[in-house]
């Protein structure tokens, strides 16, 4: 599912009208009829309620006027509150307002000098509110009576149905512009917008539906937009059931460099993640003195003891052994629990330069690159980085707060600059590719805020890489099934208490959903 900026959506609207010749009033009618159908699904008795359409200006107001007419024709009682003088309306919005006047729908015009509470009664006494105040073109802070009205609407105990985007939400970023409607449902037109899925967007849009308004496929394809909301439909296109004659030798061999004293759990979780994702074989490189521990912890994965430092971390002298072993393997994951000591960091950098198979770098392997991310451009094979905001900040010499302010831009720019596939973890994980593709993950929940989740994800991605799945798709699949497994276990049950091992146990069933097997969703 594509996700667009406000400008990209406006360009497609304009080209549909000017190049293809579909009139704007037709697009508006398509949008409004699709929104009306969705709102009726969301609030089945909507046509039996007193509906107040709160309208601003521009096309968002025009959609609101059209919705007022549609519900009026269904027999609903409809009132319209215009927050801006209709004399300032133009184009299709003015056309739809004039239709309201002709069919006798009551339209109250807000008087900024009048009594606020007396005028707001129109909204307060309604059984449902349709928010058509600001559309995707909002580019400044919401102030004055607009802000107060939005805040008062949010206090009402009735359904609030947003047209295209909840008013006050930046459609291109998901940031709240001073104040924003908290919608029960949002009908958005043509395509999802970035603001629906990032930052405050998911909390404000409520139930969401993309309404097809008639923009031709050819225009969309020509726009070259490579930004996706990662849903089941998208993820399932990248994976299919195995053939009956597949065996462990054809399912790929994933290698793992992880663990040090006190951090053998991280190594175990990565190995289990790779195995649960479907890698036919998994081998763990582990400091030799720790091998007896992981031999007990792990059953299916194999271990390969390697030379260690005095601190029981991977030693640089392990380099030739690792390179010899991975020469004909399909993936290498490294980083969690290996420590940030100088010698281990040097080993990581040498492996980046010389390992011939796709790699996943996480945790300490990412920290090893702080101050020297340019080494990524010299890698011998494709690399997937999986930083959390703190690790991303260390790579950039920035702060986690700065990273969080511009997650999408940060991920995309770093991926292109350094030629790596970057998975920036967090709520709505972002996956970026050097070729400009970008996905925003839709799965996952707050109960995943527990130790070991990132280790499991690293292993899952390595498992998919080992099976021959391309790096961008492997990272996307890893993020999606990781979150989906967690959702299947605990969504709607609790926001706490979920363990990484719980998620790994559920992973085959989550993958099975993408493969087309019936199951709990």
- CB within 8 A of 449, min separation 6: which ones? none
User: What is the structure's pLDDT at 188?
Assistant: 98
Looking at residue 300, the DSSP 8-state letter turns out to be S
**Taking the CB of residue 442, how many other CB atoms lie within 10 A of it?**
22
C-alpha to C-alpha distance for 295 and 251, rounded to whole angstroms? 23
* H-helix segments, 23-90: 24-42, 58-73
Closest CA to 519 of 484, 492, 491: 484
C-alpha to C-alpha distance for 26 and 46, rounded to whole angstroms? 24
User: What is the structure's pLDDT at 519?
Assistant: 52
User: What six digits make up the tokens of 318?
Assistant: 């392990």
- Three-class SS of 141-180: CCCHHHHHHHHHHCCCCCCEEEECCCCCECCCCCCECCCC
CB-facing half-sphere around the CA of 217: CA atoms within 13 A: 0
C-alpha to C-alpha distance for 69 and 78, rounded to whole angstroms? 8
pLDDT in tens, the chain (521 residues): 899 999 999 999 999 999 999 999 999 999 999 999 999 999 999 999 999 999 998 999 999 999 999 999 999 999 999 999 999 999 999 999 999 999 999 899 999 999 999 999 999 999 999 999 999 999 899 999 999 999 999 999 999 999 999 999 999 999 999 999 999 999 999 999 999 999 999 999 999 999 999 999 999 999 999 999 999 999 999 999 999 999 999 999 999 999 999 999 999 999 999 999 999 999 999 999 999 999 999 999 999 999 999 999 999 999 999 999 999 999 999 999 999 999 999 999 999 999 999 999 999 999 999 989 999 999 989 999 999 999 999 999 999 999 998 899 999 999 999 999 999 999 999 999 999 999 999 999 999 999 999 999 999 999 999 999 999 999 999 999 999 999 999 988 999 999 999 999 999 999 999 999 965 44
- CB within 8 A of 36, min separation 6: which ones? 67, 70, 71
The answer to whether the CB of 332 falls within 8 A of the CB of 339 is no
- CB within 8 A of 85, min separation 6: which ones? 109
For 101-204, list the strands marked E by DSSP. Answer: 106-109, 128-132, 160-163, 185-189, 192-193
- Three-class SS of 377-405: HHCCCCEEECCCHHHHHHHHCCCHHHHHH
The gap from C-alpha 239 to its chain's centroid, in whole angstroms, comes to 19
User: What is the structure's pLDDT at 521?
Assistant: 45
C-alpha to C-alpha distance for 411 and 454, rounded to whole angstroms? 17
User: What is the structure's pLDDT at 502?
Assistant: 97
Is the Cα dihedral 300, 304, 310, 313 positive or negative? negative
The gap from C-alpha 192 to its chain's centroid, in whole angstroms, comes to 12
User: What six digits make up the tokens of 185?
Assistant: 């449902």
User: What six digits make up the tokens of 418?
Assistant: 């350094």
Stated length of the chain = 521
Q: What is the pTM of this model?
A: 0.92
Residue 286 CB-density burial (10 A; 0-12 exposed, 13-18 middle, 19+ buried): buried
Domains of the chain in start order, with CATH, are: 3-223 (3.40.50.10260), 249-515 (3.40.1190.20)
**Beta-bridge partners for 43:** none
* H-helix segments, 77-143: 91-103, 116-124
CB-facing half-sphere around the CA of 107: CA atoms within 13 A: 25
User: What is the structure's pLDDT at 371?
Assistant: 86
Closest CA to 442 of 229, 152, 146, 264: 229
User: What is the structure's pLDDT at 518?
Assistant: 67
C-alpha to C-alpha distance for 274 and 271, rounded to whole angstroms? 5
Radius of gyration (C-alpha) of the chain in whole angstroms: 27
């Amino acid at each position: 599912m594509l996700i667009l900026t406000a400008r990209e959506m406006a360009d497609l609207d304009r080209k549909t009208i000017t190049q293809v010749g579909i009139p704007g009033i037709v697009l508006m009618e398509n949008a409004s009829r699709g929104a009306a159908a969705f709102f009726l699904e969301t609030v089945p008795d909507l046509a039996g309620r007193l509906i107040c359409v709160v309208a601003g200006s521009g096309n968002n107001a025009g959609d609101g006027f059209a919705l007022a007419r549609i519900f009026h024709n269904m027999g609903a009682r409809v009132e319209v509150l215009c927050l801006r003088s209709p004399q300032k309306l133009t184009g299709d919005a003015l056309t739809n307002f004039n239709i309201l006047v002709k069919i006798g729908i009551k339209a109250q015009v807000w008087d900024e000098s009048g009594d606020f509470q007396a005028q707001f009664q129109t909204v307060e006494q309604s059984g449902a509110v349709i928010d058509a105040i600001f559309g995707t073109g909002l580019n400044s802070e919401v102030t004055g009576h607009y802000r107060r009205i939005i805040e008062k609407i949010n206090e009402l105990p009735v359904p609030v149905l947003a047209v295209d985007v909840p008013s006050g939400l930046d459609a291109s970023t998901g940031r709240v512009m001073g104040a924003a409607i908290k919608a029960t449902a949002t009908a958005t037109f043509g395509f999802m917008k970035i603001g629906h899925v990032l930052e405050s967007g998911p909390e404000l849009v409520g139930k969401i539906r993309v309404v097809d308004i008639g923009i031709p496929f050819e225009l969309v394809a020509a726009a070259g937009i490579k930004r996706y909301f990662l849903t089941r439909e998208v993820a399932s296109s990248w994976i299919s059931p195995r053939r009956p004659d597949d065996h462990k030798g054809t399912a790929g061999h994933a290698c793992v460099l992880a663990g040090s004293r006190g951090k053998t759990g991280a190594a175990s979780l990565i190995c289990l993640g790779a195995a649960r994702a479907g890698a036919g074989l998994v081998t763990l490189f582990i400091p030799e003195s720790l091998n007896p521990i992981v031999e007990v912890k792990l059953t299916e994965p194999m271990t390969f003891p390697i030379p260690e430092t005095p601190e029981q971390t991977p030693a640089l002298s392990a380099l030739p052994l690792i390179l010899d072993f991975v020469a004909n393997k399909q993936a290498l994951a490294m980083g969690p629990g290996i420590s940030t000591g100088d010698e281990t960091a040097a080993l990581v950098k040498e492996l980046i330069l010389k390992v011939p198979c796709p790699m996943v770098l996480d945790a300490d392997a990412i920290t090893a690159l702080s101050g020297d991310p340019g080494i990524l451009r010299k890698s011998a094979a494709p690399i997937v980085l999986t930083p959390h905001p703190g690790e991303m900040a260390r790579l950039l010499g920035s702060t986690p707060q700065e990273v969080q302010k511009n997650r999408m831009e940060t991920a995309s720019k770093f991926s292109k600059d350094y030629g790596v596939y970057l998975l920036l973890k967090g709520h709505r994980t972002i996956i970026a590719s050097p070729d400009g593709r970008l996905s925003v993950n839709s799965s996952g929940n707050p109960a995943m805020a527990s130790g070991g989740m990132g280790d499991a994800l690293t292993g899952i991605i390595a498992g998919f890489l080992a099976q021959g799945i391309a790096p961008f798709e492997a990272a996307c699949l890893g993020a999606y099934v990781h979150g989906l497994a967690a959702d299947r276990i605990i969504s709607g049950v609790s926001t706490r208490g979920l363990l990484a091992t719980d998620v790994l146990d559920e992973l085959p069933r989550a993958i099975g959903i993408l493969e087309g097997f019936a199951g709990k969703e």
